[in-house]
Chains A and B, each alone.
Chain A
Amino acid sequence: MRFFSSLILFLLVCANVMSYDFGYGYEVNDKITAGGYISTKYKNTSEKEELELDDIAFLIYGDLNDRFSFLFELESAGTYIHYLNNGHAEKNIDFQVERAYLQYSHNEYVSLRVGKFLAQVGLWNLIPIVVFRETSQKPRITTEIFPRFTTGANLSIKANNLKWDLFVQHNDDIDKDYNNFYVKEHYGVKGSYKIDQNTFGGNIGWFRDDFLGMDSYYYGIHAKRNTNKYKLHSEGYIASLNYDSSKSINMYTNRNFEKKGIFVQATYEYSHPLHFTYRYEMYNDEMENLEFYNRMDKLESINLLGLNYRPMYNMSLKVEYQTSSLEKNDDIGVVSFSVLF
């Protein structure tokens, strides 16, 4: 807690002493900018009640010259957790590389990014911090189907409103524990089309997880509409997983399983700065169902209702409640506060 108060104090001093614009980062000079964010949450399920300093992150970015730019971000996730039911606490101030890349912009159409970056899959994955999201709870398909990060290269090609991203990874991740899969190889392509307030697109990809002894093909589509008053956002994916016999750590070697799901999310601005969000998600994980229910086709329905109070765009207080139709997954109540500086 002392760390948290010191950080807030530090930010206030920064805001007063330096030419710092809250939410826009600190301009070190004409070319370099620094910033960061913090998120905290209170989480309540039937089994536990916890207070968490969820994320602390620092980032620095800038232009090296007309064509080269860079971004570097360190994050500590799950920094401090206090379990309210038994009084225990966990500390984990272990900063890891969230993003670290160099970008070369050839012209208005072509750019190349090399390093560790957010995998160009769908739309949710590209807004990785709670402060910008409508809910602190993530749709399941955004963490179960594809790797969240890529350590490799991403080629972007833009033509009018159409954008293509081709990405490739053929090595270990930078800070490999800080990804949702132990990715050794990942290849994919994303196409997206943006017109006025609407974005549509799709992805196809393949990756290999050496730890699980598994490879997976995945494909999906996404759509989003943003207006001043409401936002609609939907993504759907199907993944086909194959566990090989030599390395697989589970009992289902040499078998194929499917994961699939879709979510639809609607956000309405009731009156500034208060937003309401409702999300419905359907998800089916054949292997998980086989383990828990001895059948593969048990569909999970997840409903989430949330309220987001955003007095400034870089600051967000969220209250949300999520229910699941599967007995193994608890209903969850969350109150979170996040701020970008």
Chain B
Amino acid sequence: MKKFTLVIFLILTYSKADIIIVANESFPLDRIENELVKKIFLRQQKFVDSQKVVPFNLSVSSNERKSFETKVLKMEQSSLKSYWIESHYNGVRPPKQVNSITAMKQYILNIKGAIGYLPRDQITTKMKQLTIVRE
């Protein structure tokens, strides 16, 4: 009954433009706060519960990435650029960028500790849905 209520709740609250923070099944958490997602994608935190986590980004021009950066990272493109240039000098690379949603799904399904984001209609049952980023 609980599961059924949750599914109904998610269906009712989903909007088409929402994106979902998703992760490989090995990811150590079932739910995640935005603050932790931000730390992972800014490469300030590389482990969760002692397990290495691997963030993936969609290409800069994708709507999902723009939405993710505005709503989760809460940073403008210019701030992000300066952040990554400074990080380069400190020996830190940005998350790996994938070219398509299909590629993102493949990485999430196959890489241990992978975390990324997808539009809700691209979610499959073999990945963990950690949180919804509302449009």
Contacts and interface: CB of A to CB of B under 8 A. Distances in A.
Interface of A: 23-25, 27, 30, 33, 35, 37, 59, 61, 66-67, 69, 71, 105-108, 127, 129, 132, 228, 272, 313-314, 340
B82 interface: yes
A35 B88 CA distance: 8
A33 B82 contact: no
A316 B43 CA distance: 25
Interface residues of B, number: 21
Contacts of B81: 23, 313
Contacts of B49: 108
B93 A33 contact: yes
B10 interface: no
Contacts, number: 49
A314 B81 CA distance: 9
Among B48, B76, B86, the one with the most A-chain Cβ atoms within 10 Å of its Cβ is B86
Given A66-B52, A105-B47, A108-B45, A71 B85 contact: no
Contacts of A30: 96
A23 B46 contact: no
A109 to B, nearest CB: 8
Given A132-B86, A313-B81, A71 B91 contact: yes
A134 to B, nearest CB: 13
B81 to A, nearest CB: 6
A338 to B, nearest CB: 12
B45 A25 contact: no
A240 B130 CA distance: 53
Nearest to A60: B91
Interface in B56-99: 76, 78-79, 81-82, 84-86, 88-89, 91, 93-94, 96
Interface of B: 45-50, 52, 76, 78-79, 81-82, 84-86, 88-89, 91, 93-94, 96
Contacts of B93: 27, 33
B97 to A, nearest CB: 11
Contact of B89 (A27, A35, A228): A35
26 contacts: A23-B85, A23-B88, A24-B85, A24-B94, A30-B96, A33-B93, A35-B88, A59-B89, A59-B91, A66-B52, A67-B52, A69-B91, A71-B91, A105-B46, A107-B50, A108-B46, A108-B48, A108-B50, A129-B89, A132-B86, A228-B79, A313-B81, A313-B82, A314-B85, A340-B85, A340-B89
A37 B90 CA distance: 13
A185 B91 CA distance: 26
B85 A107 contact: no
Among B45, B84, B89, the one with the most A-chain Cβ atoms within 10 Å of its Cβ is B89
Given A33-B93, A107-B50, A108-B46, A340 B88 contact: yes
Contacts of A129: 89
A25 B47 contact: no
Given A66-B52, A129-B89, 4 more contacts: A59-B91, A105-B47, A108-B49, A108-B50
